Structure 1
Amino acid sequence: MTEVSALWMRRDLRLTDNRAMHEMQQWVEAEEGRQWFLVFHLDPEFYSFSCPHHDYFFQNLEKFRKECDDQHIQLYFLHGTAEKAFAYLKEKVPGLTHLFFNEDEAPPAAYRDEQVKTEMQRRSVETHVYKDAHFHRSDEVKKKDGGLYSVYTPYYRAWRQLEKEQPYKCRLDLISSRQARPSLPQKAAYGKLSSYLKHYGETWKHTGEEDGHKRLETFVEEIAPTYHETNNALSQDGTSRLSAYLKTGRLSVRTIYQALSEQLEEGNPGAEAFVSELAWRDYYNMIHATHPELKNKELKEAYQNLPWEYDEKRLQTWKEGRTGYPVVDACMRQLNETGWMHNRGRMIAASFLTKDYLIDWREGERYFAERLIDYDPSSNAGGWQWAASTGTDAVPYFRVFSPVRQSERFDPQGDYIREHVPELQGVPKKYIHTPWKMDEQQQKEYNCILGQDYPEPEIDHSVQRKKAIEMFKGD
């Protein structure tokens, strides 16, 4: 009987440098007559409601399907719970003997994978799982005593010393000729994706694998050399803008590392600074894999019962970018308008919600989870716990970001603010960070009437800072 394998695509939507695809290819080549096919599982948890995060991913998925068509590769779809979907797959493809996929170590994806592996084992299907989304698995970067790190800096030093894998070659010409053509009904399954795509909001551009490679080329040539100087500047195109391509798997970390290899060998500080940012992905993956409660529970036990305030009006004000603090509002409006926010902006917005509005960090984490097109559950939750001072290696609770100081440092001319908060376009540099200091005559002169065109702040940062510190101290 002909052996057939399925390659399960997930957050690795690419036909180049794909570890599971490479390993499946090796398996197919090992014996004459072996065949394979490509499959994607549509989880109802994601297609049951629309948000920018889901919209972006599913548009990438549809683009990937078309890219597969161009290579004469058919992408099959499953739907329903993972366990039932793969049980159905085996029933419809009785010759299925192997399932290849790239691993997820953090929940809830890790739980899903265990269910699928158990179901496949019960049905005599071997599963082959590979590291792909990260440079190193959660248990690879260890201290000398064999334990895992809880502080990033020593983790990074150890991480940097470990060898990084080279990109994996995928021979599409070979594997496309060895495809199985299973009798797998597609009307209902693909219909779920098709129906979702008919109802999404904004259409996202540059979602192809080729677009990811073009952006990487631009970053390496034009931005990476000075990344260490520009990556915190809110108004400059000084960041990589690769995070969404990493999220969907349009680019692999190996391909990015290889593209930077020459600059890294030369000791370029910009390339080194960017690689340290990539290491944060591995670090938070390790934290999440070893602390499954990361998204819902403070890692620091002392702060698990903080008396967070719950103010629906203020939470909505923050979401809409109407707090009266220009840099915070610019950050939130950038998120709402584009599905992306500058990393420095994420820290500013998160600090404001938790330390100025004193609202539970989980509220912000959930909002970002819906709005960010590059949403990564581990990095997002880790970042929110960092800003809230509740996570591992987090900012100390007594170091409270001043939104005005952050604005003056990272958007000194106010260009970022004016781009995203048009009500303030006529306000000069002197007042762009603190418009509430304008008198009535100046407000009229600069076409920005407070309380009418732009809101006045509801809170005083200096007062809220003291409250936040008192809350953490238990006073």
Structure 2
Amino acid sequence: MTSVMWFRRDLRIEDNIALSQAFEKSEKLILLFQVNPEQFLNNSMNHAAFFTSVLHLKKVIEEEGMHLQILFGDVKESFEQLKETVSDWSAIYFNQDEKGYGKKRDDEMRAFFKDNQIQVHSYLDHYLHGAYEIQNNAGDLYKVFTPYYNKWIELDKPTPIKVEIDSQKVVKEKLFEENEQKLEKLVEDAQLNIDYNPGTEAAKEQLKIFIEERLDDYKIGRDFPNQDKTSRLSQHLRTGEIGIRTVWAAVKAETSNESQQTFLKELGWRDFYHMVYAANPEQKDKPIKEQFAHIQWDNDEEQFEKWTQGKTGYPIVDAAMRQLNTLGWMHNRLRMIVASFLTKDLLIDWRKGEQYFQQMLTDYDPSNNIGGWQWAASTGTDAVPYFRIFNPTTQSEKYDKSGDFIREFVPELKAVKNKYIHAPEKMSQEEQKEVGVIIGEDYPHPIVNHSYARKRAISVYEESKDIKH
């Protein structure tokens, strides 16, 4: 009898619960990845990066003397094709999803597997704790992070899983060669023109660098975009190229200090946002806070375009957006600044920003991204209060004091002196000529006055609160 290991966002052969169980319990095993074109985002660095990682996994599996089969097309039709091809297929192993598209797909496919007498073995693997594992004393899911975290941190964390690979069990014959060619063409056509380093070995090296060179400074250093003090593990965690248990165990083994505790707390936020999405399945399209369901967004398309291009006239916002467009990644402090600017200063619907990040981020994770956008827009659970609005200029002065980050990504401001780097429009015409930057020609005037925008946003949010729901 043949079993199937269905890879999803667990693109690794180490510390993988479903794969470990599949090898242990199967006589004959098919390793498989299913590509559903309906999920594609065109011109998306997000998907170009993800499928590059899938191809990398395929290569790693082949180097181990095994083979990764590729199904391509509608999920159900793909597995029907597999059943026709492999008539003795009787069991499937996978790491399940508890939210979003993945949960919907898993629910539908469980019915298919049952109808075809295929035993399902599914596991929770992508998070330290499942979405429904941590509840308050009344048996409800938490809505606020701090009490959630206080319970979360007290629980024992799972340890890395040993995978005993037996390549002799794996079906090496190419069952769907044309699908493998389709995947290769998909990655080729996507043209991922960024420095993207996929795979488990790259992830483990990144974890090692973080622990040895950055962890001790993490608590403070993580807020400064011109300092490379973040873990940069988000890309590998979203693909599952490294297991969350591996990351937890490695960091937990280090000397306990404030920076170590701060990073471990970030892993708590990761679990929290996963739980929030599971509890609020419509949160990608709907605000969690009902009182902000009727905000009168301005949604100026021209201003939105200037935001996406990094041409708002606010140097820290522009540098952040250009970092995103250039690298497919943005520093976390900057994610908060640009999200606040879009939703509060420009009064543009947070969903537009969330979708743009979905397209551009190589570390796009729906739970974290939606959670972060609803936090910034004050529409989510445990979100920033609606009247707390980041001032982009003071944020810039605080977190990029000397303007090094701005100059890196907004090169037209390279010659601007430190005293003007955060607000170059304050230069006199003589000073503009002196540094070769004419505001309004070489670099835009601010597209909105922050002081005015702040008052407008508070007023609009308060009007939404007053509408009867």
Same fold (TM over 0.5): yes
Does 1:304 pair with 2:309? no
> Is the partner of 1:393 in helix, strand or coil?
coil
Q: Which residue of 1 aligns with 2:467?
A: none
Is the contact between residue 5 and residue 29 of structure 2 (CA under 8 Å) also seen in structure 1? Answer: yes
Normalised to the residue count of structure 2, the TM-score between the two structures is 0.97
Q: Is the 8 A contact 1:56 1:204 kept in 2?
A: no
Partner of 1:412: 401
Which secondary structure state, in structure 2, belongs to the residue aligned with residue 129 of structure 1?
A: strand
- Residues 48 and 281 from structure 1, CA distance in 2 versus in 1: closer, same or farther, beyond 3 angstroms? closer
Amino acid at match of 1:190: E
Partner of 1:31: none
Q: Find the aligned partners of 1:361 and 1:315 in 2 and give their Cα distance.
A: 11
Q: Cα deviation per residue 1:25-82 (whole Å; 9 max; x = unaligned)?
A: 2213xxxxx1111000001124473310011111111111111110011000111111
2:415–2:436 CA contact under 8 A, matched in 1: yes
Q: Which amino acid aligns with 1:212?
A: A
Q: Please say if residues 68 and 75 of structure 1, whose CA atoms lie closer than 8 Å, have aligned partners that are also in contact.
A: yes
The match for 1:389 is: 378
Look up the SS of the partner of 1:161 in the other structure.
coil
Q: SS at the partner of 2:66? A: coil
Identity of aligned residues (%): 42
CA distance in structure 1 between the partners assigned to 2:197 and 2:346 by the alignment? 36
Could you say which residue in structure 2 is the equivalent of 1:366?
355
Output the CA distance in 2 between the equivalents of 1:307 and 1:156. 34
Corresponding residue SS for 1:383: helix
Select which of 222, 225, 238 maps to 1:234. Answer: 225
Q: Which of the numbers 261, 265, 288 marks the counterpart of 1:276? A: 265
Q: Is the 8 A contact 2:71 2:176 kept in 1?
A: no
Contact (CA 8 Å) 1:106, 1:289: kept in 2 or not? yes
Q: Is the 8 A contact 1:93 1:183 kept in 2?
A: no
Q: How does 1:429-440 map to 2 (within 5 A)?
A: 429-440=418-429
Matches of 2:41 and 2:168, distance apart in 1: 36
Matches within 5 A, 1:44-443: 44-47=37-40, 49-172=42-165, 175-181=166-172, 184-187=175-178, 189-201=179-191, 202-263=193-254, 266-443=255-432
Structure 1 residues 347 and 460 mapped into 2: Cα distance closer, same or farther (>3 Å)?
Answer: same
Letter of the structure 1 residue corresponding to residue 263 of structure 2: F
Number of residue pairs matched by the alignment: 463
Alignment partner, residue 25 of structure 2: 27
Unpaired runs of 5+ in structure 2?
465-469
CA distance in 1, matches of 2:195, 2:123: 30
Deviation at 1:402, TM superposition (A): 0.3
CA contact (8 A) 2:203 2:236 kept: yes
Change in Cα spacing, 1:220 to 1:60, as seen in structure 2 (3 Å) is: same
* Counterpart-to-counterpart distance in 1, 2:189 and 2:450: 41
Q: Aligned AA for 2:244?
A: V
The question of whether the paired residues in 2 share the 8 Å contact of 1:4 and 1:180 is answered with: no
Distance 2:312 2:41 in 1: 32
State the TM-score, normalizing by the size of structure 1: 0.95
Q: What is the deviation of 1:141?
A: 1.0
Give the counterpart letter for 2:15 in structure 1.
D
* Amino acid in structure 2 at the alignment position of 1:16: E
CA deviation map 1:389-438 (0-9, x unaligned): 00000000000000011101111111111111001111111000011100
- Counterpart in the other structure of 1:468: 457
**SS of residue paired to 2:438:** coil
Q: What residue number does 2:16 align with?
A: 18
Give, in angstroms, the shift of residue 183 of structure 1: 7.1
1:76–1:221 Cα change, 3 Å: same
Q: CA deviation at 1:340?
A: 0.1
Contact kept, 8 Å, 2:41 with 2:47, in 1: the verdict is no
Q: Secondary structure at the match of 1:250?
A: coil
Measure how far apart 1:180 and its partner are.
Answer: 3.1
Q: Contact 1:320–1:332 (CA<8 Å) still a contact in 2?
A: yes
**Structure 2 CA distance for aligned equivalents of residues 216 and 159 of structure 1:** 23
Alpha-carbon distance in 2 for matches of 1:49, 1:89 = 27
Q: Aligned partner of 1:179: which letter? A: V
Counterparts of 1:190 and 1:25, CA distance in 2: 23
The one-letter amino acid paired with 1:5 is: S
Conservation of the 8 A alpha-carbon contact between 2:24 and 2:164: no
Cα separation, 2, equivalents of 1:473 and 1:89: 55
CA distance in 2 between partners of 1:184 and 1:48 (Å): 27
RMSD: 1.2
Q: Distance in 2 between matches of 1:153 and 1:447?
A: 50
Q: Any idea what the Cα deviations from partners look like across 1:122-161, whole Å, max 9, x if unmatched?
A: 1000111111110011111111222111001111111101
Verify the 8 A CA contact 1:47 1:196 in the aligned structure 2. Answer: no
* Matching residue of 2:2: 4
Which letter does structure 2 place at the counterpart of 1:247?
Answer: R
CA separation of 1:56/1:204 partners in 2, compared to 1, >3 Å: closer, same or farther?
Answer: farther
Tell me, yes or no, if the aligned pair for 1:57 and 1:248 is still in contact at 8 Å: yes
Using the TM superposition, give the Cα deviation of residue 299 of structure 1 relative to its aligned residue in structure 2, in angstroms.
Answer: 0.4
Report if aligned partners of 1:93, 1:182 keep a CA contact under 8 Å in 2.
no
Q: Shift in Å at residue 456 of structure 1? A: 0.5
What CA deviation, in whole Å up to 9, does each residue of 1:174-217 have, x standing for no partner?
A: x2111235672321x22321221221221543212111100100
What stretches of structure 1 of length at least 5 have no aligned partner?
A: 29-33
Distance 1:47 1:359 in 2: 25
